[in-house]
Chain A
């Protein structure tokens, strides 16, 4: 597709989509959202960009094959298990660390966030694999 309107729109809409993907990812612990929905939104940004431009340039910008995203995501999920094992707790127990962050309050990090990031990466990889396979663009 060589539509100028589409290409101009894709330049800005993809940042919006990725922003909302991270919003959905970060507030997913207490409100609607989460890793799965964030991953789907981030994938839609990539798919939209690949419709507007050549899909080869998209694959160059991804700097990994979709299978690589799946592998990194699953490794992150495995890593999120390790703190509960080290502290001799039940598997997958959420462990939180509070970091003071100046005037902004406290930054709460924990294993549920790492788990959600892993789901995020895995969903991006799997959905991109579906997309590239179904459109015969592997």
Chain B
């Protein structure tokens, strides 16, 4: 593994994404209300997208970009579904 500027910054990005993921997980476990947990799940989807993008830069593969587009479309639908469920129960 060479210590170029790109590699160092990619590894730092991985560490920060992991930290953000852990903080969102804390919010999911501890969250006082259901709404907090829903927002944290949405945040985790965004963090996953960033993780996949950084990984695809690291291994020089453009195939993973489509996965990111599809996750960004789908996570939105999950949030909408949970919000309709919350509205029905009210």
Which A residues fall within an 8 A CB radius of B?
Answer: 1, 6, 13, 16-17, 20, 23, 31-32, 41, 44, 47-48, 51-52
Listed from nearest, the 5 A-B pairs whose CB atoms lie closest are A48-B77, A51-B80, A1-B84, A17-B73, A44-B77
Interface stretch among B16-24, B30-38, B62-70?
B62-70
Check A13/B84 contact, CB under 8 A, given A20-B66, A31-B63, A32-B63: no
Q: What's the A-B contact tally at a CB cutoff of 8 Å? A: 27
Give the size category of B's interface with A: 10 to 19
The docked-state distance in angstroms from the alpha carbon of A6 to that of B83 is: 12
Pairwise interchain contact A23-B73, C-beta atoms closer than 8 A: no
Binary A-proximity of B69-80 (CB < 8 A = 1, otherwise 0): 110011011001
B81 interfacial contact with A, CB 8 Å: yes
Contact B69 A20 (CB under 8 A): yes
**Residue B90 lies at the interface, judged by CB distance under 8 Å to chain A:** no
Interface of A is mostly: helix
Contacts of B87 in A (CB 8 A): 1
**B interface list, Cβ under 8 A from A:** 63, 66, 69-70, 73-74, 76-77, 80-81, 84, 87
Closest Cβ neighbor of A13 among chain B residues: B73
Q: Are A20's CB and B80's CB within 8 A?
A: no
- Chain B residues within 8 Å of A51, by CB: 77, 80-81, 84
- Other-chain residue from A6, A20, A31, A48 in contact with B70 (beta carbon distance below 8 A): A20
Chain A residues within 8 Å of B63, by CB: 31-32
A41 to B77, CA, bound (A): 11
| Given A20-B66, A23-B66: A44 touches B74 (CB 8 Å cut-off) | yes
Chain B contacts of A31 at CB under 8 A?
63
Determine how close the nearest CB of chain A comes to the CB of B86; give it in whole angstroms: 11
> Can you name the residue of chain B whose Cβ is closest to the Cβ of A16?
B73
How many Å from the CB of B89 to the closest CB on chain A? Answer: 13
With a cutoff of 8 Å between Cβ atoms, the chain B residues found around residue A16 in the complex are 73
